[in-house]
Structure 1
Amino acid sequence: MTEIGRASCLIVDDEAPLRQVLMHLMRGDGFECFEAANGRDALDFLETHRVTLAISDIRMPRVDGIELLREIRARYPDTAVIMITAVADVDVAVKCLAIGAMDYLTKPFHLEEVRARVRQAMERRRLVMENRDYQERLEERVEAQARRLEEQFLMGIQSLAEALEVKDPYTRGHSIRVSHYSSVIARTLRLDDEMIWQVELGGHVHDIGKIGVREAVLNKQGPLTAEEYEHIMIHPVVGWRILAPLLGDAPIALNIVRSHHERLDGKGVPDGLRGRAVPLEARIAAAADAIDAMTSGRPYRGAEMTLEGAVEEIIRHGGVQFDPDVVDAVTTAASSGKLALIPRATKPLLTP
């Protein structure tokens, strides 16, 4: 089904009588018609009007039909163009079709021939636009499906991170809390929304590498030996290797996974980064991770700290272990009440 009956047409020719003949013909077929005496006037008109079809002579003053055709194809690709000329030149016809004309007519022509060529051009235009719309909708569906797959993947990763914690009541909910504290610090630093989102994601999955740590070490109820500590500190690299192929679009989150145990003084792991070489997002997560560790407590550490006590420790190690800007953000967020501890789950898991 063509668009004739609800379409518009621009007739471009330097011969006024021919313009009137074509306009009369096209109006009879339901087109709303406009006219221009040359290519320059046609381009001026098209700047403020969109037409379905342009029928243009080739040889005209100012801007000729070939240049008009190029401009229409470049600027108004939805407009179908039929070229008309008094010179039967195969090379010119081929050139017009190569540029993008839908058809090519030679004067003199029969009006029924014009009608037939217009119908063909409009049908081709319809098919081209339908194909383009299909491709765009297909791309949108593919993108939407990719987003859904990514969301499902991230949910799975977060569930896995939480599953690592449920066996230990002292770390249960650790990733959620680190994600939240990191987000509060990032917002206090006035970071942009995309970075805040990735900081939250990084907090959720920062310890995913612990799936590569021996369970006996991971859940040990006493102080770690030097060998055990070295073993457990492989988790940033393990986590980074697991997630790097999957979070290519989230490099900030990946930086947190790899570098949340780096220190400002260069004595951290795994890369011994120093100062500003430690990514800002990792410096944020390091402070959030430390806050949760200090306020969660462990059997061999004694009583857990209050938030105030943890903030004092963060301040005390500022400039050595923690970034001074991040320390300032922690103190600001804590004093304003935006940084508050999330209660830990204390009930044991139900067993069958």
Structure 2
Amino acid sequence: MRTVLCRLMTAEGFDCRQAACGAEAVAALEAETFPLVLSDFHMPALDGAELLRIVQQRWPQTAVVIITAVSDVNLAVRCLDGGALDYLTKPFSTEEVRARVLQALEKRRLMLDNAAHRAHLESRVAQQSRKYEELFLASLQSLAEALEIKDSYTWGHSTRVSRYAMAVARELHAPLELMDQLELGSRLHDIGKIGVRESVLNKEGPLTDAEYAHVMEHPVIGWRLLAPLLRDMPVALAVVRSHHERFDGHGTPDRLAGNDIPLAARITAVADSFDAMTSGRPYRDGMAVDDAMAELRRCAGTQFDPQCVDAFERALLTKAIPRPDWRVQRQVTLKIVA
């Protein structure tokens, strides 16, 4: 029967291979690519159903037509449900075999074309999604930069904090997913200050208790502003809301403590404080880098996560974090404002 089928298909222009059993067929498929398998159902060791399952699992682009002497509707349904493109019962005519084989190959071609078309559409959708995401993130960054324009002395603050936070995260071997969201969250961590009065934000001198309380509303304001936009970025949202929490539990707004504070927020808290200390203000000069680092170490375990402080210091020593100079920052800011 195999010889007859092989001669028939060869006469139709096909290049055919024979296998005496299912195991030989699997070996042949491992060695060569075949668009179509004509398989008997009842075979020793590996029957047609098991061969069909293996082909579907390992070579899904290979079409299978099952041939058997058993005229059983349930068996036919079982094979078709298993992925066979057609089912032939013996005896059959050569014309029937020819027609069924050509039909199966045409089905295979249509399936491959549809899969390729679907993959192309998915690729286009993914490209469009990436473009929209890039535009969205660029808009958020522009919003953060617009906020900094309100206070020329903090120009570039969010960019520096993000750069410091990423260096600390690398020192801590943070997972890539966290780092992607940390970069965005640290850039937007002060976005809530858009709701802080400019008279308070730009005040020359210490804040009153009431003014300080007003400023410290910005984590929740920022979180509320971004929550509808960053539903799929919980880490970034956590940075915005929790970057003023303290390791000892006396922070704001939720009085979280220790590891209950999200890691990305603990990292940003260190980076944010360091930049605040080393940046010049209208009423004071920026702190020296060594003094700022000493202050971070002093507050490790109370205000800051000690591991994040240690990672920050390692990044500073290896120059993964550049030593800032508030005088240079002020000169650049004045040039931009001018």
Question: TM over 0.5, yes or no?
Answer: yes
Of Structure 1 and Structure 2, the greater helix share is in 2
For residues 137-286 of structure 1, the aligned pairs below 5 Å read: 137-286=120-269
The match for 1:122 among 105, 108, 131 is 105
Query: Matches of 1:48 and 1:120 in 2, distance apart?
Result: 26
Letter in 1 for 2:86: D
Superposed CA offset, 1:248-295 (max 9, x none): 443322221111111112111111111222222212111111111111
- Aligned partners of 1:166 and 1:349 also within 8 Å: no
| Further displaced range: 142-151 or 161-170 | 142-151
Q: Partner letter of residue 245 of structure 1?
A: P
Cα separation, partners in 2 of 1:29 and 1:174, compared to 1, 3 Å? same
CA distance in 2, matches of 1:187, 1:70: 46
Is 1:316 paired with 2:303? Answer: no
- Seen in structure 2, the aligned counterparts of structure 1 residues 221 and 348 have a Cα distance that, compared at 3 Å, is farther
SS in 1 for 2:18: strand
User: Deviations 1:10-45 (Å, cap 9, x if unpaired)?
Assistant: xxxxxxxx1112112222333332212222332343
Amino acid at match of 1:332: R
What RMSD in Å do the two structures reach over aligned CA positions? 2.2
1:288 corresponds in structure 2 to: 271
Q: Which of 30, 48, 51 is the matching residue for 1:65? A: 48
Task: Kindly indicate whether residue 321 of structure 2 is the aligned counterpart of residue 334 of structure 1.
Answer: no
Could you tell which deviates more after superposition, 48-57 or 281-290?
Answer: 48-57
Distance, in Å, in 2 between the alignment partners of 1:43 and 1:326 is 56
TM-aligned CA deviation for residue 326 of structure 1: 1.9
Match in the other structure for 1:10: none
Q: Tell me the SS of whatever aligns to 2:153.
A: coil
TM-score normalised over the length of structure 1: 0.87
> In structure 2, what residue type is equivalent to 1:35?
Q
In structure 1, C-alpha distance between the alignment counterparts of 2:155 and 2:274, rounded to whole Å: 15
Q: Is the 8 A contact 2:152 2:337 kept in 1?
A: no
Q: Distance in 2 between matches of 1:219 and 1:348?
A: 19
Percent identical:
55
Give 5+ residue unaligned stretches, structure 1. 1-17
Gap regions ≥5 residues in structure 2:
none
What is the number of residues matched between the two proteins? 333
- What's the offset of the Cα at 1:154? 0.9
Which stretches of structure 1, 4 residues or longer, exceed 6 Å deviation after superposition? none
For residues 277 and 110 of structure 1, do their structure 2 counterparts lie closer, same or farther at Cα, with a shift above 3 Å needed? Answer: same
Shift of 1:144: 2.1
**What code does the residue aligned with 1:42 have?**
A
With the length of structure 2 as denominator, give the TM-score of the two structures.
0.90
| Distance in 2 separating the partners of 1:333 and 1:84 | 69
